[in-house]
Amino acid sequence: MTAHAAAHGMVGGERAQGAVGVHTQKLGMWVFLVSEVMFFTALIGSYIILRWGTGAEWPEPRTVLAIPVTAVNTFILICSSVSMVKAYAAAVKDDQAGLKRWLLATVVGGATFVSVQAFEYHHLVEKGFLPGSGLFGATFYTMTGFHGFHVTCGVLSMIWVTIRAFRGKYAGGKFQGIETIGLYWHFVDLVWIILFTIVYLI
Amino acid sequence: MTAAGTALPGHLHVDDRSFVRKYVFSTDHKIIGIQFLFLSLFFLLVGGLLAMGIRWQLGFPGQPMPLGGWLPEGVAPGGVVSPKTYIGLVTMHGTFMIFFAVMPLLVGVFANYLIPLKIGAPDMAFPRLNMWSFWLMIPSGLLMLASLFVLGGMSVAGWTVYAPLSNSPDYTGVHLGQQLWCLSIVIFGASSLLGSVNYITTVINLRAPGMTWFRLPLSVWALFITAVLAILAVPVLAGAVIMLFFDQTIGTHFYLPAGGGQPLMWQHLFWFFGHPEVYILILPAMGIASDVIANGARKPIFGYASMVWAMIGIAFLGFIVWGHHMFQSGMNPTLASAFMVSTIVIAVPSAIKVFNWLGTMWRGSIHFTTPMLNAIAFVSMFIIGGLSGIFMASTPVDMYIHGTYFIVAHIHYVLFGGSLFAVYAGIYFWFPKMFGKQLDERLGKVHFALTFVFYNLTFFPMHILGLGGEMRRIYDPTVYEYLRPMQPINVFISVSAFALFLAQLVFAWNIVRTLARGKKADINPWRDCGLEWTVPSPPPHGNFETTPTVYHGPYEFSVPGAAQDYLPVNQPLPPVPEGRR
Amino acid sequence: MHWWFPGNASSVGGKVDSLFYVILYITGAVFVLVEATLVVFLVRYRKRSGRTATYVEGSTRAEIIWTAIPALILVTLALVSQPLWSKIKDADTYPRDAAHLGLEAKQFEWHVTYPGPDGKLGTDDDFLKRDSIHLVVNRDYVLELTARDVVHSLFIPAFRLKQDLVPGMTIRMWIRPTRTGTFEMACSELCGLGHYRMRGVVVVHTPQEYAAWLVSQGEASAADSAAASAATAVPTPPPTDGKGAQ
């Protein structure tokens, strides 16, 4: 470990690559994501306990929720993850036009997802399905709501990153920011796939 | 939430930051540490004042409190603490002390101040997030303070805010107070999270050349492990509290059995956070005490590697013992037995640490400086707190002492006798580095002696009360016939507690006086080996002129063949080191 | 002057106490030993002129010894505790012929339901008492614990027994009184503003006394049941304890 630390020349304040060879920003994002995992674990764990741990009556999800719409929405979110990968690949190749194009696609995908979710909420509330509508309502709105909040934050950050990309801030190999936000984006996607499975499908 | 990209600070040789950037919205880890110091000392005072109210009522139930006449009629009619106010005091004392005093004192102050200096980094990995971590504590603290004064009164559900008591105003009449409590804790969680991401990333990535993992000072190890615990535990608390908040505000029924919810789920979630939290509150104290004891005994720490592994073991086991807070909660008795075993196992690494501190003092040359005295007090009080914990680990004995003053005694032996003495040790030890001035040693020793004596007089008799069967959180113990004979103990405890509170004024006076006209501190007043003692007191922005190189472990005291009894880590060991790292 | 455990009055109390004393003696010995060592070190190895600290980094053997010994003692403690715990809290091990009583906690009262002459709960002849449990000495009982509003905890110090009552759950708790007399019981889980006065009594009778008491309940019980259900219809604590008293 000594040699390792010493091998990375840490001169002055320039230690972005760090003692373990991972970019500090990326490492920070990973650590942050660990805490996010724990946050969603608390919510999903509570859902599992309330639904399967107590023998409570639980409505069939498809009698309440519009599964096909959300399935399409899930597909859109997954597509936005693909475009995120494309954006990163473009950044690595220093293909600035590609980077901008794929970042925009990601923003559009994420924004669409949030909009469809808002539409879904509106529809459900009109039908009388509220957070107070039993444990299903409570867990549904809490879990999907916090996920939606995360996507919204992601979209806002993604817009910021896109603006920076249009200003050429990621040119010339300085694309760490793209990888960092990409990590967050993929994480939020992954959480959604879990939520879609256990809340909508099962 | 965003890609948290901030440029690492280079070395600023000319510090041209404005006053606001330098001292208010500062991104310098040292300023942030000092900001945390004053904020958490303020909350320590608030928590202490609330405790005085509790002790007045318990020692002299139903009698008008001195100055109680100044309080509004609704809070203290005729100057007498009302039952509602009493439980409010109990709740807020616990809340302020745990979340706003001891945790920020240990983590906010020492992790911020020490980590970059001790590992040879110019600042934290994400200085701007670090600033946010402090500035989120302000709204969090303000909301909690505001909750004391809102309509309906402050939270009266205890610091553990057990559901469903905390869920609905139907049970207590409290609504806004409890909601503000929840909001404050969620913001607190965000602050703690930003700090922890920073500490972890910084320790992993910003260590100076030669500062290998097993050359890290134990304080840094402890703070690093603590940050890992916080990353894993605090989000669970946030999730649980958010669900509680929804129960109160938007009509969900997570914890309300009327709607199918589970009261025990709150307890599981809370203690899944709560037990790691206990270690969040003690591990940094262990780290600080280790640094100070090695320095005070002028010896390397005994069994450095096992000290590290013991802390890692405690952290890991800390996540599988939460059920021991719930032995009598109605959980499955077989599950409780499993928790008993894991709890018993976690006592072993704590024992290792105690013996290793003793081993460090063995054949040392012990200098009784104020920091060392406080660190020794930490060890001896932690022994008591640790041993009294064994009674609770045994499920049948816990059945009797659970929820009694025995538990209150135990938690105060660990949190005050343990954590707070270590905090004092740390403040006395690093104050010269923080402010460039040395706290008065004589006043420090007076403060230590008074605190040590009155602390024990206050909390030791609580063990007896608990064994006599006195419940905690009881407004008036004299309601029970079997508790009445023990009332003289309560009077004694209360008087000692008042004296303990007053003794802390010596500390406050020492700080004020030293800051005003204290003795200037040298670069290295304690003749310590750490990197922080190789830079001026206080260190400049950016900490190090040139990146230091580390040659050996952090506790090279009294090395045979060395010219002086300590070897700073940036100086190579003398020749002829047979088989040492 | 009573500054220690209240006198034991239940079948498990003695065993809990013995276990407590075992732990007390072990931890007491460890306490004295470790603190005395600390003091001796502080005196013996204090800073003196002409003496320097000895450079020692550790000793694997010493560390193994002081890891193994506590581990051994602690594991033994767990093994000793386990059977007693199962006996007290594991509902499968409770005596079959135990009489069942219902105990419901609400803010800030204990409602005890007696099975009445037919010996069965949930029948018409059940009757209800507030804040007092009447038992026959040396008989097994299983209390069926429920809570109406928030979490409470049944604490009978003289029996060394404690068990939370959780709304939405029915928890069974076995007790066997071994001494006649009147013993206080308390709530030991913060349950609201009147938590401190949620006091009750456990009255342990001889069989003869109990029979006489049962007869006297014939007339009184109807009134008490009515009063109790009336009181619970409006679950409002007295205003002195501040529900909405702000």
Predicted confidence (pLDDT) per residue in B304-320, tens digit: 999 999 999 999 999 99
| Interchain contact, A46 vs B200, CB within 8 Å | no
Inter-chain CB proximity A5 and B212 less than 8 Å: yes
pLDDT digits (tens, 9 = 90+) for B256-269: 988 888 999 999 99
Q: What is the mean pLDDT of chain B?
A: 92
Cβ B58 vs Cβ B462: under 8 Å? no
Residue C143 has pLDDT above 50, yes or no: yes
Tell me how far apart the alpha carbons of residues A73 and B204 are, in angstroms, rounded to a whole number.
39
Report the alpha-carbon distance of residue B285 to residue C97 in Å, rounded: 54
Average pLDDT over chain C reads 87
Of B260, B262, B542, the CB nearest to A134: B260
| pLDDT score recorded for residue C220 | 59
Spatial distance between the Cα atoms of B384 and B459, rounded to a whole number of angstroms: 11
How many C-beta atoms surround the C-beta of residue B219 within 10 A? 29
How far apart are alpha carbons B273 and B233 in whole angstroms? 5
Interface test with B, best of C5, C56, C76, C199 (most B CBs within 10 A): C56
pLDDT confidence band for B562 (50 / 70 / 90):
confident
* B538 preceded by a cis bond (ω within 30 of 0): yes
Q: Contact A177/B126, CB-based, under 8 Å?
A: no
Angle value at C-alpha B357, between B198 and C52, nearest 5 degrees = 115
Measuring CA to CA, how many Å separate C119 from each of B45, B405, C89, C110, C146? 58, 39, 23, 21, 20
- What's the pLDDT score for residue A143? 96
Cα–Cα distance between B570 and B550 in angstroms, integer? 5
Q: Residue A54: its pLDDT value, please?
A: 76
| Cα separations in angstroms, B247 against A32, A145, B256, B381 | 27, 15, 8, 40
- The helix/strand/coil state of C111 is strand
Whether residues B122 and A49 touch (CB distance < 8 A) is answered with no
**pLDDT at residue B109 in the model:** 96
Q: Indicate whether B463 pLDDT > 50.
A: yes
Measured at the alpha carbon of residue A182, what is the angle toward residues A180 and A186, in degrees to the nearest 5? 125
- What does the DSSP 8-state code read for residue A157? H
Joined together, the tokens standing for residue A190 give 């992954």
Give the CA-trace dihedral at B61, B65, B71, B72, to 10 degrees.
Answer: 40
Interface chains of chain C (3 or more CB pairs under 8 Å): B
Instruction: Tell me, yes or no, if B249 comes closer than 8 A to chain A by beta carbon.
Output: no
**Average pLDDT value for chain A:** 88
* pLDDT of C234 strictly over 50: no
Name residue B471's amino acid. M
- pLDDT band at C228, cuts 50/70/90? low
Amino acid letter for position B522: D
Q: Residue B365 corresponds to which tokens in the numbers above?
A: 């040359």
Contacts of B180 (CB under 8 A, 6+ apart): B143, B144, B146, B147, B150
Q: Is the pLDDT of residue B544 over 50?
A: yes
Residues of B (420-439) whose Cβ lies below 8 Å from A: none
The tokens 């209360």 sit on which residue?
B494
**The pLDDT value given to residue B193:** 96
Of B554, B538, B113, B503, the C-alpha closest to B295 is B554
Report the distance separating Cα B240 and Cα B116, nearest Å.
33
- Compare C93 and A54 and report the one with higher pLDDT: C93
Condensed to tens digits (0 to 9), the pLDDT of residues B361-383 reads 999 999 999 999 999 999 999 99
pLDDT of residue A149: 97
B 178-197: CB under 8 A from A: 193, 196-197
State pLDDT tens for residues B160-198: 999 899 998 999 999 999 999 999 999 999 999 999 999
Helix axes B176-205, B112-119, angle to 10 degrees: 0
**A3 burial via Cβ count (<10 Å: 0-12, 13-18, 19+):** exposed
At residue A62 the predicted structure's pLDDT band, cuts being 50, 70 and 90, is: confident
Judge whether B427 and B44 are in contact, CB under 8 Å.
no
| B264/C30 CB distance under 8 A | no
In 3-state terms, what secondary structure has residue A167? coil
What amino acid occupies position C34? V
Secondary structure element (H or E) that encloses residue C88, with its range: helix C60-89
Give the tokens for residue B493: 């405890």
φ, ψ for residue B204 (rounded to 5)?
A: -70, -45
Residue of C nearest to B561 (CA): C55
Q: Is the pLDDT of residue C241 over 70?
A: no
CB within 8 Å of chain B, chain C residues 118-147: none
Which of the residue ranges A8-22, B115-129, C119-133 has the most confident prediction, judged by mean pLDDT? B115-129
* pTM as predicted: 0.92
Segment holding B96, helix H or strand E: none
Contacts of B447 (CB under 8 A, 6+ apart): B370, B424, B503, B504, B506, B507, B510
Q: Cβ atoms within 10 A of the Cβ of B568, count?
A: 20
Q: Which of C35, C190, C246 sits opposite B158 (nearest CB)?
A: C190
CB contact under 8 Å between A18 and B204, yes or no, is yes
> Does the pLDDT value for residue C244 go beyond 70?
no
On the CB side of A108, how many CA atoms lie within 13 Å of its CA? Answer: 9
Question: What's the complex ipTM?
Answer: 0.90
Q: What are phi and psi of B405, to 5 degrees?
A: -65, -15
Which residues are within 8 A (CB) of C7 and not within 5 positions of it... i.e. 6 or more apart?
C158, C179
Phi, psi of C202 (to 5 degrees): -110, 120
In single-letter form, the type of residue at position A138 comes to A
Candidates C145, C161, C138; CA nearest to C84 is: C161
Cis peptide before C108 (omega within 30 of 0): yes
Of C136, C140, C42, give the one whose Cα is nearest residue C93.
C140
- Which chain C residues are Cβ-neighbours of B94 within 8 angstroms? none
* Structural contact between residues C188 and C162, judged by C-beta atoms closer than 8 angstroms: yes
**For helices A96-126 and A176-195, angle between their N-to-C axes, nearest 10 degrees:** 30
Side by side, the strands of the sheet bearing C141-147 are C127-130, C109-114, C99-106, C141-147, C171-175
Give phi and psi for A112, each to the nearest 5: -60, -45
| Segment holding B484, helix H or strand E | none
Residue B234: the pLDDT is: 96
Partner C contacted by B432 (CB < 8 A): no
Angle value at C-alpha A18, between A17 and A22, nearest 5 degrees = 65
**Residues B15 and B541: beta-carbon distance below 8 Å:** yes
Q: For position B7, what pLDDT does the model report?
A: 40
**Do A46 and B235 count as a contact with CB atoms less than 8 A apart?**
no
Which among A154, A135, A144 has a CA at the least distance from the CA of A197?
A144
Least confident among A45-49, C118-122, C235-239 = C235-239
pLDDT of residue C3: 87
